[in-house]
Amino acid sequence: MLIMNRKKGMNRIMKDLRDRAERYLAKLDERLGPLVPCATPSLPLHLRERFSVFSTRVFGRNWLLAIENEGWDPGSPTAYRQHWQQLKQATGEDHVAIVLSGIPATIRNRMIGLGVPFLIPETQVFLPESITLLTESFAPLASGSGKPLSPAAQVLVLLQVQHGGLEELSAKELSGKLGFSRALISNATAELERNGICETSRKGKEQRIQFKGSAAVLWEAALPLLRSPVLKTLFVRWTHPVDGVKRSGISALAQRSQLAEDPVPVFAMPERGIRQGLEQGQLNGCVDRYEANAEVEVWRYDPALLADGPDVDPLSLFLSLRNSPDERVQAELDDMMKGLSWR
C-alpha cells in the first residue's frame, strides 16, 4: 500500500509538471498541439523510470518532451546530454527536449553549450530551430529569431566578449578593422539587433553599435545562436605550412589543459586559404588520417580575426568542441571556460 501511494504521488507530481509545461508552451504558441503520451519500449529501463515521454507540435515542428519524474537528483550537463542522445536514438526522433522542474544557472548554461534542448515551465525554454527564451538574465528572443548567427555577426560577438573595443564603432570603422564589406557589417549588426544582442544609434551620418551588458551577459545571450565555426575537416599533407593557419581542435585544447595532443595535429583555416594552399601546392589532400601529417578544419570565418597567437581563440575552440562525446574533452572545456578572465 505504501509503495502504491508513493507511486500515485509521483504520478501526480509528474502530471503537474506536464500540465505546467503545456500551459507555458501554450502561452508561447497558441497553435500548440496536445501532449500525447508516447510508448518507449526500446528505452533503457532507468530512463523509462526517470522520464515520461510525450509528443506535441510547437512552432510548426514535432517535438518529443521527456518530462523528468519526481525523486531524481539533478543530473550533470553531460549526463543530461547522454540521456538526450539515448532518447533520440530510442525514439528515432531528432527533436527531443528534456523538461525539468528547475536547474541551476550553471547547468542550464552548460546544457545550452552542449546543444541539449530543455524546458523549465514559466521560466526558460531552449528549443533550437523553434524558440529560445531565457528570462533569468537577458531579453527573450522572439519565436523564429533563434536561427544561428551569420559568420560576420558571430565574429562581432566573439570579438566584443573577448576583447571589447567595438562599442560606438561605425560600420565603416568595423569594416576597416575586420576586412568585411560595409554591407556585410550592416547586415550583421541588424541581425544582432533583431536578436536583442546589440543596439544601434545614429551619430552624424553613421550608425554605431552598442552591445548590451557585460561580457558574461553578452556571451550567455548569444550562446544559443552561436554555432561551431567548423564547416568540414580535411586530412592533408603539408609541403610547408600555409600563412595564417592556427592550431585548433584537440591540438589547441592540449595547449590549455592536461590532454595529450593528437598524433595528427589539427589546424584551422578559412576556405579561401584551403583553396590557395591546394592551388599553390602547399598542401595535398589525403584519403585518411594514416596518410596525413595534418588535419585541417575549414572555418566559416578567418580564425586570425579573433586570435593573434598560434592557437584559435578559446570561445571558437569551445564552440568547435562542445558536442564532443569525449568526457575528458568536456571536462577540459569546462576548466578552460571557468578560467577565462571575464567569467
Q: What is the pLDDT of residue 137?
A: 41
How far apart are the C-alpha atoms of 222 and 205, rounded to whole Å? Answer: 28
How far apart are the C-alpha atoms of 59 and 141, rounded to whole Å? Answer: 14
**pLDDT tens digits, 90-129:** 888 888 999 998 877 777 778 887 888 999 888 788 887 6
The three cell numbers locating residue 229: 565555426
* 66 backbone dihedrals φ, ψ, rounded to 5°: -95, 100
Exposure of 215 in the CB half-sphere (CA atoms within 13 A): 14
Given its phi and psi angles, is residue 150 left (phi above 0), alpha (psi -120 to 50 degrees) or beta? beta
**pLDDT tens digits, 266-302:** 999 988 887 777 777 777 777 677 788 888 898 999 9
How far apart are the C-alpha atoms of 203 and 319, rounded to whole Å? Answer: 35
- Assign 135 a pLDDT band (cuts: 50, 70, 90): low
The three cell numbers locating residue 248: 585548433
Residue written as grid cell 598542401:
283
Work out the number of other CB atoms within 10 angstroms of the CB of residue 262.
Answer: 14
Q: What is the pLDDT of residue 204?
A: 67
CATH label, 151-225, candidates 1.20.200.10, 1.10.10.10, 3.40.50.410, 3.90.550.10: 1.10.10.10
How far apart are the C-alpha atoms of 171 and 185, rounded to whole Å? Answer: 6
**pLDDT tens digits, 239-251:** 776 777 899 999 9
Handedness of CA 268, 270, 271, 277 (dihedral sign): negative
SS3 content of the chain, % helix, strand, coil (to 5): 40, 20, 40
- Assign 155 a pLDDT band (cuts: 50, 70, 90): very high
DSSP assignment of 202-261 equals: EETTEEEEEE-S-HHHHHHHHGGG---SEEEEEEEEESSPPTT-EE-HHHHHHHTSSPPP
Work out the number of other CB atoms within 10 angstroms of the CB of residue 37.
Answer: 10
The three cell numbers locating residue 150: 551569420
How far apart are the C-alpha atoms of 121 and 269, rounded to whole Å? Answer: 42
Which DSSP symbol is given to 70? Answer: T
Mean pLDDT in residue range 205-228: 86
pLDDT higher than 90, residue 59: no
Q: In what order do the strands lie in the sheet with 294-299?
A: 246-247, 266-270, 294-299, 230-238, 283-285
Which residues on adjacent β-strands are paired with residue 210? Answer: 199
Q: Spell out the domain ranges in the chain.
A: 2-134, 151-225, 230-330
pLDDT higher than 70, residue 139: no
Work out the number of other CB atoms within 10 angstroms of the CB of residue 209.
Answer: 23
How far apart are the C-alpha atoms of 47 and 251, rounded to whole Å? Answer: 36
- The alpha carbon of residue 117 and the mean position of all alpha carbons in its chain are separated, in whole angstroms, by 10
What is residue 318's three-state secondary structure? helix
pLDDT higher than 50, residue 1: no
Contact criterion met (CB below 8 Å) for 174 and 156 = yes
Q: What is the pLDDT of residue 8?
A: 46
What's the whole-model pTM score? 0.62
